[in-house]
Chains A and B, each alone.
Chain A
């Protein structure tokens, strides 16, 4: 693709309706920059979005895009990539979309290792439905539907990914623009399922997991001498309940993406005007 693609080419002329200050602005900017930086352009990029404030992202970006039903972004993206190994596929959505209603698909998309990137805008709340607990909400996080907190431990998406056989696990923070872009870029470039959990604060409904909270608590793995190729080290980081990390936690350099393992390399969109050559053999088999 042409090298003169700028990240603004991935911007649609539709103004986001996100609340001013929403983390999703920063998350999206980083995604667009990462796409442009990795040599993609809107005509060879397909963005699949979930449902939620985060899921609106497909509308504000310019590319081929599909905005599905709640929780099904990953199967949709898997289908696109299967039909079109030649196309850059990125899936995006919220923590509710990805780890609650879509949790089953998450596990299976991870273990399939389809060559795409998956960006989850984790605000630890349901934004679009106006502030209920999400699967990543703290167990004492009070909301209208959980007045005393969910009283259940939050889902640990990083550990879930690792346990499911992930080949790339990372976490970033929407307001640390450069690091976020860098990390998403690495996810795009990874041969396989590039998973990035992004701390993307909801300024309207979550007054606990705020910009300040993440700014103060985040530890960057870059400064921690962490080797993402070291599985044991990755295990320690993703299971560390004490600290919040950003950076690439795990990366399997030997990852072979699904389509290569299964020999799916052809663009499936091109068809002859009639039955494919050799189709009559299908009938002869039944003699």
Chain B
């Protein structure tokens, strides 16, 4: 009995691959099964191969594997692209009536379903993908009623006739397979449960986290794979008194967000590589004017326009060091989709408590991947809003100088100054990107300069002490092999532990969600025999940072093909690394 199913639908961009995949994923989620999805997409709107993959199990799933059990192939290329992952016993659903002659590999069951004709019978050829979903239900023994619920959710807004037609299309697909194929030996058992899961991707989780944290203003400029954050917020943030502006470019986006933050709103912008470069000019202004701002960078393959629809973790240095001069900042990097939510909430609190730019660094794999969660994972009652040293009319006096002027950049022990928003009586003040004194006025005085630089940097020191910069720990805590990771690699690594255990390799995995400030790992590194840093870039940007902190060399696993790490692949790579020498000191 196969309980863990890997399913995919593939075709040309414009074939409705995404929405079809999502309908099936939602049906599985509604059936109380865990789902983890991934997407292969090219950077074009029509034409070009695209696929939506689903891994589903009753147990939690958090990565992709090199195995495909059922493939809905709308084109020959879909079959060719996935040959490696198909295995004996896999099935391919295809439409033999279409002009291409499906070349189905030996050992693999070809399920020829007249998708288009059946869809027409149900009311329109547009529903051919839904016919395929019905066929897939029959192949896997999955109750088509869950699919009905998903279709209702998807098409409910378009009227009951459309919903009924789609349900009929699914039925026709199901019946066709039942009548024409003997499924005796496929043997799937897609157990259902009473759990009500929610299914969402990282961009959506970031957007949801922002609203939960009280973000009211968002300005952005469309860019893959960050656009979904803006799409999510649009139409939702308004319900909570907020607003989204599609700016003319990233320079405008970050400056609008900064302006709104000066106005006192919790404010955010999100972008990807090329956009983060454009925003870099303003990083320093955010820090120097001591404005709380959350800047999200959803990384994709660079440099330049690189591979816009492919995975990479190549912007770490940009967020950690980007901008001229020395800029105090925080960098947090969610390692899972649920962390995309929680780290965004945290980011807003850090931003306001420390009046600094806070970067939330996610990657394409987190952003576009959907995963199922218990709804309590996002328990809104647990969200806390800490606005830091926001002063109002009552405590403004404390911060006035002898002439009654507000000391917006007062030099304090913890480095954090009072913050007064417009409208606060007697606190009118100016802020600037120029070096300034306590009042915010331009200065080139050496003492002022040093005091203000130290003050701003002291905020980071305070935060290092006051906040907990933890890491997530997996595997065997006493293992000799320590694997360190950041970003979306965590899921695949955690699953790789199972493969490694089967081979008798004990490994401890540390997944780090804080890039700066970050946990001190020197002790963990010292007690391990082998230290391997895993990241989706070519040069090992996080490994560099780790080596710097621990004053020792580490081994590196780097992947920059544009494709995310897979669990089985990582297990193999780790085993190979263990036989390698540590690089020379």
Contacts and interface: CB of A to CB of B under 8 A. Distances in A.
Interface string A19-58: 0000000000000000000000011111010000000101
A2 to B, nearest CB: 11
Nearest to B373: A286
Interface stretch (A150-158, A176-184, A199-207, A266-274): A266-274
Given A69-B281, A84-B264, A268-B242, A276 B256 contact: no
Interface stretch (A73-81, A220-228, A236-244): A73-81
Contacts of A284: 198, 375
Contacts of A108: 247-248, 252
A68 B285 contact: yes
B197 to A, nearest CB: 8
A59 B260 contact: no
Given A75-B252, A283-B198, A84 B422 contact: yes
B265 interface: yes
Contact of A80 (B263, B425, B441): B263
A268 B383 contact: no
B23 interface: no
Contacts of A268: 216-217, 241-243, 260, 263-266
A83 B265 contact: yes
A6 interface: no
Contacts of A67: 430-434
Given A59-B430, A64-B422, A108-B248, A264 B243 contact: yes
Contact of B198 (A80, A262, A264, A286): A286
B257 A79 contact: yes
Contacts of A107: 248
Contacts of B252: 72, 74-75, 78, 104-105, 108
B198 A287 contact: yes
A78 to B, nearest CB: 5
Contacts of B236: 282
B263 A79 contact: yes
Contacts of A262: 243
A61 to B, nearest CB: 8
A279 B266 CA distance: 16
Chain B contact surface mostly: mixed
B228 to A, nearest CB: 13
A63 interface: yes
Contacts of B243: 82, 262, 264, 268
Contacts of B281: 69
A68 B255 contact: yes
B219 interface: yes
User: Which residue, A12, A87, A282, has most C-beta atoms of chain B within 10 A?
Assistant: A282
Contacts of B430: 12, 58-59, 63-67
Interface in A233-287: 262-264, 266-269, 271-276, 278-280, 282-284, 286-287
A62 B375 CA distance: 50
Contacts of A83: 216-217, 259-265, 267
Interface residues of B, number: 72
B461 interface: no
B231 to A, nearest CB: 13
A86 interface: yes
Contacts of B248: 104-105, 107-108
Contacts of A69: 255, 281-282, 285, 433
B26 to A, nearest CB: 8
A82 B285 contact: no
B432 A66 contact: yes
A69 B238 CA distance: 29
Interface string B365-385: 000000000010010110111
Interface in B415-470: 421-434, 441-442
Nearest to B370: A286
B116 interface: no
Contact of A82 (B213, B263, B383): B263
A268 B218 CA distance: 12
A211 B422 CA distance: 37
A272 B214 contact: yes
Contacts of A64: 262, 422, 428-430
Nearest to A13: B403
Interface stretch (B204-212, B298-306, B497-505, B551-559): B204-212
A56 B424 CA distance: 23
B148 to A, nearest CB: 15
Given A83-B263, A104-B248, A286-B204, A279 B255 contact: no
Interface of B: 29-30, 196-200, 204, 208, 211-214, 216-217, 219, 236, 238-243, 245, 247-249, 251-253, 255-267, 281-282, 285, 289, 375, 378, 380-381, 383-385, 387, 403, 421-434, 441-442
Interface of A: 12-14, 42-46, 48, 56, 58-59, 62-69, 71-72, 74-84, 86-87, 104-105, 107-108, 262-264, 266-269, 271-276, 278-280, 282-284, 286-287
13 contacts: A44-B422, A46-B263, A59-B430, A75-B219, A82-B245, A83-B216, A268-B216, A268-B243, A268-B265, A271-B216, A271-B266, A283-B378, A287-B197
